[in-house]
Structure 1
Amino acid sequence: MTNRNLHPYCYLCILILGVSAQAWAGPEEDGSYWHTLRLQGTLPAQNLYWNMDFNPRYRNEGKHIDYLYYRPAIFYKPNPKTSLWLGHDTIIGHPAGKSAYHENRWWEQFQYQFDPIASITFTNRTRVEEREREGFHDVGYRLREMIKSSTPLKNHSKLSFVVSNELFINVDKTDWGARRGFDQNRFFVGLNWKITERCNLETGYLNQFVNKATHHLENHIINTTLGFKF
Protein backbone atom coordinates (compact mmCIF):
# COMPACT_ATOMS: atom_id res chain seq x y z
CA MET A 1 0.00 0.00 0.00
CA THR A 2 1.40 3.42 -0.90
CA ASN A 3 1.12 6.57 1.17
CA ARG A 4 -1.45 8.09 -1.17
CA ASN A 5 -3.87 5.25 -0.32
CA LEU A 6 -3.90 6.10 3.37
CA HIS A 7 -6.62 8.37 4.69
CA PRO A 8 -5.13 11.56 6.23
CA TYR A 9 -6.50 10.73 9.66
CA CYS A 10 -4.44 7.52 9.68
CA TYR A 11 -1.36 9.67 10.11
CA LEU A 12 -2.92 11.35 13.11
CA CYS A 13 -3.67 7.95 14.62
CA ILE A 14 -0.03 6.98 14.16
CA LEU A 15 1.02 10.16 15.96
CA ILE A 16 -1.35 9.45 18.85
CA LEU A 17 -0.07 5.87 19.16
CA GLY A 18 3.46 7.24 19.32
CA VAL A 19 2.82 9.25 22.47
CA SER A 20 5.05 8.27 25.40
CA ALA A 21 3.36 5.67 27.62
CA GLN A 22 2.34 6.77 31.11
CA ALA A 23 3.71 3.79 33.02
CA TRP A 24 3.09 4.93 36.58
CA ALA A 25 -0.13 3.91 38.29
CA GLY A 26 -2.37 6.17 40.31
CA PRO A 27 -1.07 9.70 39.60
CA GLU A 28 -2.59 12.67 41.42
CA GLU A 29 -5.08 14.31 39.03
CA ASP A 30 -6.37 17.85 38.63
CA GLY A 31 -8.40 19.93 36.20
CA SER A 32 -6.82 23.13 34.87
CA TYR A 33 -7.34 26.02 32.47
CA TRP A 34 -4.50 27.55 30.47
CA HIS A 35 -5.03 30.73 28.44
CA THR A 36 -2.50 32.30 26.08
CA LEU A 37 -2.63 35.64 24.29
CA ARG A 38 -0.01 35.64 21.50
CA LEU A 39 1.07 38.79 19.69
CA GLN A 40 3.44 38.68 16.72
CA GLY A 41 4.88 41.21 14.31
CA THR A 42 7.73 42.17 12.03
CA LEU A 43 10.99 43.95 12.93
CA PRO A 44 12.89 46.44 10.72
CA ALA A 45 15.51 43.83 9.76
CA GLN A 46 14.66 41.48 6.90
CA ASN A 47 13.12 38.12 7.93
CA LEU A 48 13.24 39.08 11.61
CA TYR A 49 10.11 38.99 13.80
CA TRP A 50 9.02 39.52 17.40
CA ASN A 51 6.66 37.42 19.52
CA MET A 52 5.02 38.04 22.91
CA ASP A 53 3.01 35.54 24.97
CA PHE A 54 0.92 36.25 28.07
CA ASN A 55 -0.07 32.97 29.71
CA PRO A 56 -2.03 32.61 33.00
CA ARG A 57 -2.60 29.02 34.18
CA TYR A 58 -5.22 27.98 36.75
CA ARG A 59 -5.38 24.78 38.83
CA ASN A 60 -8.07 23.16 41.03
CA GLU A 61 -10.70 23.26 38.28
CA GLY A 62 -9.80 26.90 37.60
CA LYS A 63 -10.25 28.11 41.18
CA HIS A 64 -6.65 29.17 41.89
CA ILE A 65 -3.89 30.80 39.87
CA ASP A 66 -1.01 28.37 39.36
CA TYR A 67 1.46 30.17 37.08
CA LEU A 68 1.73 33.43 35.20
CA TYR A 69 4.06 33.56 32.18
CA TYR A 70 5.49 36.52 30.26
CA ARG A 71 7.39 35.29 27.19
CA PRO A 72 9.01 37.80 24.80
CA ALA A 73 11.04 36.42 21.89
CA ILE A 74 12.56 37.26 18.54
CA PHE A 75 12.92 34.85 15.65
CA TYR A 76 14.59 34.72 12.26
CA LYS A 77 13.03 32.98 9.23
CA PRO A 78 15.63 32.27 6.53
CA ASN A 79 12.85 30.58 4.54
CA PRO A 80 9.11 29.90 5.00
CA LYS A 81 9.70 26.47 6.60
CA THR A 82 12.50 27.25 9.06
CA SER A 83 12.77 29.59 12.05
CA LEU A 84 15.42 30.21 14.73
CA TRP A 85 14.24 31.66 18.05
CA LEU A 86 15.70 33.36 21.11
CA GLY A 87 13.38 34.07 24.03
CA HIS A 88 13.04 34.70 27.74
CA ASP A 89 10.38 33.54 30.20
CA THR A 90 9.49 35.39 33.37
CA ILE A 91 7.37 33.03 35.47
CA ILE A 92 5.55 33.68 38.73
CA GLY A 93 4.60 30.43 40.44
CA HIS A 94 1.86 30.18 43.08
CA PRO A 95 2.22 26.74 44.71
CA ALA A 96 -0.52 25.62 47.09
CA GLY A 97 0.29 26.43 50.71
CA LYS A 98 3.59 28.12 49.86
CA SER A 99 4.87 31.59 49.01
CA ALA A 100 4.97 32.73 45.38
CA TYR A 101 8.32 32.42 43.60
CA HIS A 102 9.96 33.70 40.41
CA GLU A 103 11.70 31.68 37.72
CA ASN A 104 13.62 33.10 34.76
CA ARG A 105 14.41 31.15 31.62
CA TRP A 106 16.48 31.93 28.58
CA TRP A 107 15.71 29.59 25.71
CA GLU A 108 16.81 28.84 22.16
CA GLN A 109 14.59 27.11 19.61
CA PHE A 110 14.73 25.54 16.17
CA GLN A 111 11.45 25.03 14.31
CA TYR A 112 10.86 23.31 10.98
CA GLN A 113 7.68 22.67 8.99
CA PHE A 114 7.77 19.63 6.72
CA ASP A 115 6.10 19.34 3.35
CA PRO A 116 2.47 18.19 3.70
CA ILE A 117 1.70 14.48 3.54
CA ALA A 118 -1.81 13.69 2.32
CA SER A 119 -3.00 17.18 3.39
CA ILE A 120 -1.41 16.83 6.86
CA THR A 121 1.25 19.36 7.88
CA PHE A 122 3.90 18.29 10.42
CA THR A 123 5.97 20.76 12.44
CA ASN A 124 8.95 19.89 14.64
CA ARG A 125 10.10 22.18 17.46
CA THR A 126 13.28 21.70 19.51
CA ARG A 127 13.83 24.01 22.47
CA VAL A 128 16.67 24.23 25.02
CA GLU A 129 16.00 26.11 28.28
CA GLU A 130 18.31 27.57 30.91
CA ARG A 131 16.25 27.88 34.11
CA GLU A 132 17.09 29.97 37.18
CA ARG A 133 14.97 29.92 40.34
CA GLU A 134 14.83 32.91 42.69
CA GLY A 135 16.90 32.31 45.87
CA PHE A 136 18.97 29.42 44.44
CA HIS A 137 22.32 29.16 42.66
CA ASP A 138 22.00 26.26 40.21
CA VAL A 139 20.97 26.65 36.58
CA GLY A 140 18.72 23.90 35.27
CA TYR A 141 19.03 22.86 31.62
CA ARG A 142 16.03 21.25 29.96
CA LEU A 143 15.37 19.88 26.47
CA ARG A 144 11.88 20.07 24.96
CA GLU A 145 10.98 18.19 21.80
CA MET A 146 7.57 18.67 20.16
CA ILE A 147 5.93 17.28 17.04
CA LYS A 148 2.68 18.86 15.88
CA SER A 149 0.34 17.94 13.04
CA SER A 150 -2.64 19.73 11.54
CA THR A 151 -5.07 18.96 8.76
CA PRO A 152 -7.93 21.09 7.40
CA LEU A 153 -11.45 19.80 7.89
CA LYS A 154 -13.49 19.00 4.81
CA ASN A 155 -16.13 21.63 4.04
CA HIS A 156 -14.64 23.90 6.75
CA SER A 157 -11.63 25.57 5.18
CA LYS A 158 -10.95 27.80 8.20
CA LEU A 159 -10.95 24.91 10.69
CA SER A 160 -8.06 22.47 11.21
CA PHE A 161 -7.75 19.41 13.41
CA VAL A 162 -4.57 19.61 15.53
CA VAL A 163 -2.61 16.94 17.43
CA SER A 164 0.72 17.48 19.20
CA ASN A 165 3.02 15.82 21.71
CA GLU A 166 5.89 17.42 23.62
CA LEU A 167 8.49 15.60 25.73
CA PHE A 168 10.53 17.38 28.46
CA ILE A 169 13.92 16.06 29.60
CA ASN A 170 16.00 17.60 32.42
CA VAL A 171 19.68 17.52 31.54
CA ASP A 172 20.95 18.13 35.08
CA LYS A 173 20.00 18.13 38.77
CA THR A 174 19.53 21.42 40.65
CA ASP A 175 19.41 22.64 44.26
CA TRP A 176 15.83 23.83 43.69
CA GLY A 177 14.41 20.41 42.91
CA ALA A 178 14.88 19.57 39.22
CA ARG A 179 15.94 15.94 38.71
CA ARG A 180 17.93 14.59 35.79
CA GLY A 181 15.89 12.64 33.24
CA PHE A 182 12.22 12.56 32.25
CA ASP A 183 10.39 15.65 33.54
CA GLN A 184 6.98 15.70 31.86
CA ASN A 185 4.94 15.00 28.74
CA ARG A 186 2.19 17.08 27.13
CA PHE A 187 -0.30 15.68 24.64
CA PHE A 188 -2.78 18.00 22.94
CA VAL A 189 -5.76 17.44 20.64
CA GLY A 190 -8.02 20.24 19.44
CA LEU A 191 -9.13 22.61 16.71
CA ASN A 192 -7.56 25.68 15.14
CA TRP A 193 -9.89 28.34 13.74
CA LYS A 194 -8.41 30.81 11.27
CA ILE A 195 -10.68 33.73 12.06
CA THR A 196 -8.90 36.11 9.67
CA GLU A 197 -5.52 36.22 7.93
CA ARG A 198 -4.12 37.91 11.04
CA CYS A 199 -6.06 36.21 13.82
CA ASN A 200 -6.51 32.60 14.86
CA LEU A 201 -7.94 30.69 17.82
CA GLU A 202 -6.75 27.25 18.93
CA THR A 203 -8.47 25.33 21.70
CA GLY A 204 -8.69 21.76 22.92
CA TYR A 205 -7.70 19.20 25.54
CA LEU A 206 -4.14 19.06 26.91
CA ASN A 207 -2.95 16.12 29.02
CA GLN A 208 0.08 17.00 31.13
CA PHE A 209 1.89 14.17 32.93
CA VAL A 210 4.52 15.43 35.42
CA ASN A 211 7.21 13.27 37.03
CA LYS A 212 7.55 14.79 40.51
CA ALA A 213 10.01 13.62 43.16
CA THR A 214 7.33 12.45 45.61
CA HIS A 215 4.48 11.55 43.25
CA HIS A 216 3.24 11.80 39.67
CA LEU A 217 0.78 14.46 38.57
CA GLU A 218 -1.68 14.28 35.69
CA ASN A 219 -3.42 17.51 34.70
CA HIS A 220 -6.49 17.55 32.45
CA ILE A 221 -6.36 20.98 30.85
CA ILE A 222 -8.58 23.09 28.64
CA ASN A 223 -5.91 24.93 26.67
CA THR A 224 -6.79 28.01 24.56
CA THR A 225 -4.51 30.26 22.50
CA LEU A 226 -5.66 33.46 20.78
CA GLY A 227 -3.11 34.83 18.32
CA PHE A 228 -2.78 38.14 16.47
CA LYS A 229 -0.29 39.11 13.76
CA PHE A 230 0.58 42.74 13.05
Structure 2
Amino acid sequence: MKNVSNFFVLLFPILVFGQAVAKKEVNQQVQTWVSLNTVTKFAEHWGVVADVHIRENGFFESDNFYLLRGGVSYMPNSAVSLIGGYAHMWLAPTKEGWFVYSNENRIYQQVQLSSKIGKVTVLQRLRNEQRWQQIMINDAPSGILRFTDRVRYLASFTIPVFNNKKLPSLVLSDEILIQFGKDIVYNTFDQNRLFIGIKQNISPKLSYDFGYMNVYQEKINGYQYDMNHTIRLFFYLNSDVKHNPSKSPEHS
Protein backbone atom coordinates (compact mmCIF):
# COMPACT_ATOMS: atom_id res chain seq x y z
CA MET A 1 0.00 0.00 0.00
CA LYS A 2 2.85 2.39 0.82
CA ASN A 3 4.37 1.79 -2.61
CA VAL A 4 1.01 2.50 -4.25
CA SER A 5 0.70 5.76 -2.27
CA ASN A 6 4.18 6.82 -3.28
CA PHE A 7 3.33 6.05 -6.89
CA PHE A 8 0.29 8.37 -6.81
CA VAL A 9 2.30 11.11 -5.07
CA LEU A 10 4.80 10.99 -7.91
CA LEU A 11 2.10 10.71 -10.56
CA PHE A 12 -0.10 13.56 -9.27
CA PRO A 13 2.07 16.48 -10.55
CA ILE A 14 2.31 14.77 -13.94
CA LEU A 15 -1.46 14.39 -14.13
CA VAL A 16 -2.01 18.04 -13.14
CA PHE A 17 0.57 19.22 -15.66
CA GLY A 18 -0.95 17.06 -18.34
CA GLN A 19 -4.41 18.52 -17.68
CA ALA A 20 -3.02 22.06 -17.81
CA VAL A 21 -1.34 21.38 -21.15
CA ALA A 22 -4.50 19.79 -22.57
CA LYS A 23 -6.59 22.80 -21.48
CA LYS A 24 -4.27 25.34 -23.04
CA GLU A 25 -5.81 27.13 -26.02
CA VAL A 26 -3.77 29.13 -28.54
CA ASN A 27 -5.42 31.49 -31.01
CA GLN A 28 -3.28 32.04 -34.11
CA GLN A 29 -3.74 35.34 -35.96
CA VAL A 30 -1.96 37.71 -38.35
CA GLN A 31 -1.47 41.41 -37.57
CA THR A 32 0.19 44.51 -39.01
CA TRP A 33 1.96 47.03 -36.75
CA VAL A 34 3.19 50.45 -37.92
CA SER A 35 4.69 53.20 -35.76
CA LEU A 36 6.67 56.44 -35.72
CA ASN A 37 9.07 56.92 -32.79
CA THR A 38 10.69 60.33 -32.31
CA VAL A 39 13.35 61.84 -30.07
CA THR A 40 13.85 65.62 -30.17
CA LYS A 41 16.71 67.17 -28.19
CA PHE A 42 16.17 70.73 -26.95
CA ALA A 43 19.24 70.93 -24.69
CA GLU A 44 22.55 69.13 -24.30
CA HIS A 45 21.13 66.47 -21.98
CA TRP A 46 17.37 66.91 -22.40
CA GLY A 47 14.80 65.97 -24.99
CA VAL A 48 11.20 64.97 -25.60
CA VAL A 49 10.02 61.63 -26.99
CA ALA A 50 6.78 60.95 -28.84
CA ASP A 51 5.43 57.76 -30.43
CA VAL A 52 2.33 56.92 -32.43
CA HIS A 53 1.38 53.27 -33.00
CA ILE A 54 -1.27 51.56 -35.11
CA ARG A 55 -1.81 47.79 -34.87
CA GLU A 56 -4.33 46.16 -37.19
CA ASN A 57 -5.73 42.67 -37.57
CA GLY A 58 -4.71 41.02 -40.81
CA PHE A 59 -3.29 43.44 -43.36
CA PHE A 60 -5.23 46.55 -42.21
CA GLU A 61 -8.48 44.57 -42.22
CA SER A 62 -9.77 45.69 -38.81
CA ASP A 63 -8.55 47.71 -35.86
CA ASN A 64 -6.63 46.25 -32.93
CA PHE A 65 -5.32 49.31 -31.11
CA TYR A 66 -4.08 52.88 -31.44
CA LEU A 67 -1.49 54.26 -29.03
CA LEU A 68 0.02 57.69 -28.38
CA ARG A 69 2.99 58.02 -26.02
CA GLY A 70 5.06 60.99 -24.91
CA GLY A 71 7.68 61.80 -22.34
CA VAL A 72 10.70 63.77 -21.24
CA SER A 73 14.16 62.27 -21.67
CA TYR A 74 17.34 62.94 -19.70
CA MET A 75 20.52 61.79 -21.46
CA PRO A 76 23.60 62.03 -19.22
CA ASN A 77 25.70 60.69 -22.10
CA SER A 78 25.28 59.20 -25.56
CA ALA A 79 24.83 55.65 -24.20
CA VAL A 80 22.19 56.18 -21.48
CA SER A 81 18.75 57.75 -21.41
CA LEU A 82 16.17 58.08 -18.64
CA ILE A 83 12.55 58.72 -19.63
CA GLY A 84 9.32 59.40 -17.80
CA GLY A 85 5.98 60.04 -19.45
CA TYR A 86 2.38 59.21 -20.27
CA ALA A 87 0.65 57.02 -22.86
CA HIS A 88 -2.94 56.49 -23.98
CA MET A 89 -4.31 53.46 -25.80
CA TRP A 90 -7.60 52.94 -27.63
CA LEU A 91 -8.27 49.19 -27.73
CA ALA A 92 -10.74 47.85 -30.28
CA PRO A 93 -13.40 45.40 -29.04
CA THR A 94 -12.78 41.71 -29.70
CA LYS A 95 -16.33 40.49 -29.11
CA GLU A 96 -18.49 40.14 -32.20
CA GLY A 97 -21.13 42.85 -32.39
CA TRP A 98 -19.30 45.26 -30.08
CA PHE A 99 -18.17 48.64 -31.44
CA VAL A 100 -17.02 50.80 -28.50
CA TYR A 101 -13.26 51.15 -27.90
CA SER A 102 -11.92 50.83 -24.37
CA ASN A 103 -9.41 53.35 -23.04
CA GLU A 104 -6.16 52.69 -21.23
CA ASN A 105 -4.08 55.32 -19.45
CA ARG A 106 -0.43 54.68 -18.61
CA ILE A 107 2.33 56.38 -16.68
CA TYR A 108 5.75 54.95 -17.43
CA GLN A 109 9.40 55.16 -16.37
CA GLN A 110 12.24 53.87 -18.54
CA VAL A 111 16.00 53.44 -18.59
CA GLN A 112 17.81 52.60 -21.83
CA LEU A 113 21.42 51.57 -22.39
CA SER A 114 23.23 51.35 -25.72
CA SER A 115 26.56 49.52 -26.02
CA LYS A 116 28.69 47.61 -28.51
CA ILE A 117 30.08 44.09 -28.67
CA GLY A 118 32.54 44.27 -31.54
CA LYS A 119 30.52 45.60 -34.45
CA VAL A 120 27.18 44.59 -32.94
CA THR A 121 25.09 47.34 -31.35
CA VAL A 122 23.26 46.17 -28.22
CA LEU A 123 20.25 48.09 -26.95
CA GLN A 124 18.79 47.22 -23.54
CA ARG A 125 15.62 48.82 -22.23
CA LEU A 126 13.85 48.43 -18.90
CA ARG A 127 10.40 50.02 -18.70
CA ASN A 128 7.90 50.10 -15.84
CA GLU A 129 4.27 50.97 -16.61
CA GLN A 130 1.35 51.77 -14.33
CA ARG A 131 -1.79 51.01 -16.32
CA TRP A 132 -5.45 51.89 -15.76
CA GLN A 133 -7.58 49.81 -18.12
CA GLN A 134 -11.26 50.53 -18.73
CA ILE A 135 -13.52 47.50 -18.19
CA MET A 136 -16.28 47.17 -20.78
CA ILE A 137 -19.64 45.46 -20.13
CA ASN A 138 -22.18 44.96 -22.91
CA ASP A 139 -20.25 47.26 -25.26
CA ALA A 140 -20.19 50.17 -22.82
CA PRO A 141 -17.81 51.47 -20.13
CA SER A 142 -18.61 49.90 -16.77
CA GLY A 143 -17.03 52.67 -14.71
CA ILE A 144 -14.53 50.14 -13.36
CA LEU A 145 -10.79 50.49 -13.93
CA ARG A 146 -8.36 47.59 -13.76
CA PHE A 147 -4.96 48.65 -12.40
CA THR A 148 -1.78 46.74 -13.16
CA ASP A 149 1.92 47.42 -12.90
CA ARG A 150 3.83 45.98 -15.86
CA VAL A 151 7.59 45.53 -16.14
CA ARG A 152 9.20 45.13 -19.58
CA TYR A 153 12.75 44.18 -20.52
CA LEU A 154 13.99 44.46 -24.11
CA ALA A 155 17.30 43.28 -25.55
CA SER A 156 17.95 44.22 -29.18
CA PHE A 157 20.96 43.37 -31.36
CA THR A 158 21.77 45.24 -34.58
CA ILE A 159 24.23 43.19 -36.62
CA PRO A 160 26.01 44.71 -39.66
CA VAL A 161 25.88 42.43 -42.66
CA PHE A 162 27.49 44.66 -45.28
CA ASN A 163 30.51 46.98 -45.15
CA ASN A 164 28.44 49.65 -46.87
CA LYS A 165 26.57 51.46 -44.07
CA LYS A 166 23.83 52.50 -46.48
CA LEU A 167 22.76 48.88 -46.80
CA PRO A 168 20.50 47.26 -44.18
CA SER A 169 21.66 45.54 -40.99
CA LEU A 170 20.13 42.48 -39.35
CA VAL A 171 18.08 43.06 -36.19
CA LEU A 172 17.25 40.45 -33.56
CA SER A 173 15.35 41.42 -30.44
CA ASP A 174 13.24 39.97 -27.68
CA GLU A 175 11.07 41.67 -25.08
CA ILE A 176 9.39 39.98 -22.12
CA LEU A 177 6.52 41.64 -20.26
CA ILE A 178 5.33 40.62 -16.78
CA GLN A 179 2.63 42.27 -14.69
CA PHE A 180 1.48 42.58 -11.09
CA GLY A 181 -1.61 43.75 -9.20
CA LYS A 182 -4.53 42.47 -7.17
CA ASP A 183 -6.41 41.57 -10.37
CA ILE A 184 -3.48 39.53 -11.71
CA VAL A 185 -4.18 35.95 -10.65
CA TYR A 186 -3.39 33.64 -13.55
CA ASN A 187 -1.34 35.74 -15.98
CA THR A 188 1.66 37.32 -14.25
CA PHE A 189 3.36 36.52 -17.55
CA ASP A 190 1.73 38.98 -19.94
CA GLN A 191 3.50 38.46 -23.25
CA ASN A 192 6.74 37.93 -25.15
CA ARG A 193 7.71 39.77 -28.33
CA LEU A 194 10.35 38.20 -30.57
CA PHE A 195 11.46 40.19 -33.62
CA ILE A 196 13.71 39.43 -36.59
CA GLY A 197 14.15 41.87 -39.45
CA ILE A 198 16.28 44.54 -41.05
CA LYS A 199 17.20 48.08 -40.03
CA GLN A 200 18.24 50.75 -42.51
CA ASN A 201 19.00 54.46 -42.47
CA ILE A 202 16.95 56.64 -44.82
CA SER A 203 18.86 59.78 -43.80
CA PRO A 204 21.16 60.75 -40.92
CA LYS A 205 18.07 61.47 -38.80
CA LEU A 206 15.52 58.96 -40.10
CA SER A 207 15.67 55.16 -40.08
CA TYR A 208 13.30 52.22 -40.05
CA ASP A 209 13.15 48.56 -39.17
CA PHE A 210 10.98 46.04 -40.93
CA GLY A 211 10.39 42.36 -40.32
CA TYR A 212 8.47 39.66 -38.49
CA MET A 213 7.41 39.89 -34.85
CA ASN A 214 5.94 36.97 -32.93
CA VAL A 215 3.75 38.21 -30.07
CA TYR A 216 2.78 35.46 -27.63
CA GLN A 217 0.29 36.81 -25.07
CA GLU A 218 -1.50 35.13 -22.19
CA LYS A 219 -5.09 36.16 -21.49
CA ILE A 220 -6.56 36.94 -18.09
CA ASN A 221 -7.99 33.43 -17.55
CA GLY A 222 -4.52 31.88 -17.67
CA TYR A 223 -5.16 29.14 -20.23
CA GLN A 224 -5.96 31.06 -23.43
CA TYR A 225 -3.17 32.61 -25.48
CA ASP A 226 -2.87 34.75 -28.59
CA MET A 227 -0.08 33.91 -31.03
CA ASN A 228 0.15 37.00 -33.22
CA HIS A 229 2.22 36.67 -36.40
CA THR A 230 2.96 40.36 -36.92
CA ILE A 231 4.31 42.30 -39.89
CA ARG A 232 6.16 45.20 -38.22
CA LEU A 233 7.31 48.50 -39.74
CA PHE A 234 8.73 51.06 -37.27
CA PHE A 235 10.19 54.44 -38.22
CA TYR A 236 12.66 56.33 -35.98
CA LEU A 237 13.23 60.07 -36.22
CA ASN A 238 15.96 61.82 -34.20
CA SER A 239 16.16 65.60 -34.38
CA ASP A 240 17.93 68.39 -32.53
CA VAL A 241 16.44 71.83 -31.96
CA LYS A 242 18.89 73.11 -29.35
CA HIS A 243 20.68 76.34 -30.25
CA ASN A 244 24.32 75.95 -31.19
CA PRO A 245 26.05 79.17 -32.36
CA SER A 246 28.94 77.25 -33.90
CA LYS A 247 26.62 75.64 -36.47
CA SER A 248 24.65 77.21 -39.24
CA PRO A 249 20.82 76.87 -39.02
CA GLU A 250 20.65 74.20 -41.70
CA HIS A 251 22.91 71.95 -39.65
CA SER A 252 21.41 72.59 -36.21
* TM-score, normalization by structure 2: 0.75
> What is the CA RMSD across the aligned residues, in angstroms?
1.9
1:146-161 matches, cutoff 5 A: 146-158=154-166, 159-161=168-170
Q: Counterpart of 1:167 in structure 2: which amino acid?
A: I
Q: Cα deviations across residues 6-53 of structure 1 (Å, max 9, x unaligned)?
A: xxxxxxxxxxxxxxxxx896611000000001232112x431011111
Segments of 5+ residues of structure 1 without an aligned counterpart are 1-22
Tell me whether 1:228 sits opposite 2:237 in the alignment: yes
> Greater CA radius of gyration, 1 or 2?
2
How far apart are the structure 1 equivalents of 2:194 and 2:187?
21
- Per the alignment, residue 195 of structure 2 pairs with 188
Tell me if the contact between 1:121 and 1:151 (Cα under 8 Å) persists in the aligned partners: yes
Tell me whether 1:65 sits opposite 2:74 in the alignment: no
Tell me if the contact between 1:30 and 1:61 (Cα under 8 Å) persists in the aligned partners: no
Tell me if the contact between 1:31 and 1:62 (Cα under 8 Å) persists in the aligned partners: no
How far apart are the structure 1 equivalents of 2:40 and 2:118?
31
Residues 221 and 138 of structure 1: CA distance in aligned 2, closer, same or farther (over 3 Å): closer
Residues 178 and 219 of structure 1: CA distance in aligned 2, closer, same or farther (over 3 Å): farther
Q: Following superposition, which runs of at least 4 residues in structure 1 exceed 4 angstroms of deviation?
A: 23-26, 177-180
Residues 133 and 76 of structure 1: CA distance in aligned 2, closer, same or farther (over 3 Å): same
- Per the alignment, residue 30 of structure 1 pairs with 29
Q: Counterpart of 1:162 in structure 2: which amino acid?
A: V
How far apart are the structure 2 equivalents of 1:39 and 1:210?
27
- Per the alignment, residue 125 of structure 2 pairs with 125
- Per the alignment, residue 89 of structure 1 pairs with 87
The structure that is helix-richer by fraction is 2
Q: Counterpart of 2:176 in structure 1: which amino acid?
A: L
> What secondary structure does 1:51 align onto?
strand
How far apart are the structure 1 equivalents of 2:191 and 2:201?
30
How far apart are the structure 1 equivalents of 2:156 and 2:77?
19
Shift of 1:87: 1.8
Residues 184 and 80 of structure 1: CA distance in aligned 2, closer, same or farther (over 3 Å): same
Which of 194, 205, 218 aligns to 2:227? It is 218
* TM-score, normalization by structure 1: 0.82
Q: Counterpart of 1:150 in structure 2: which amino acid?
A: T
Shift of 1:180: 5.0
Shift of 1:179: 4.8
Segments of 5+ residues of structure 2 without an aligned counterpart are 1-20, 135-142, 240-252
Tell me if the contact between 2:32 and 2:58 (Cα under 8 Å) persists in the aligned partners: no
Tell me whether 1:144 sits opposite 2:152 in the alignment: yes
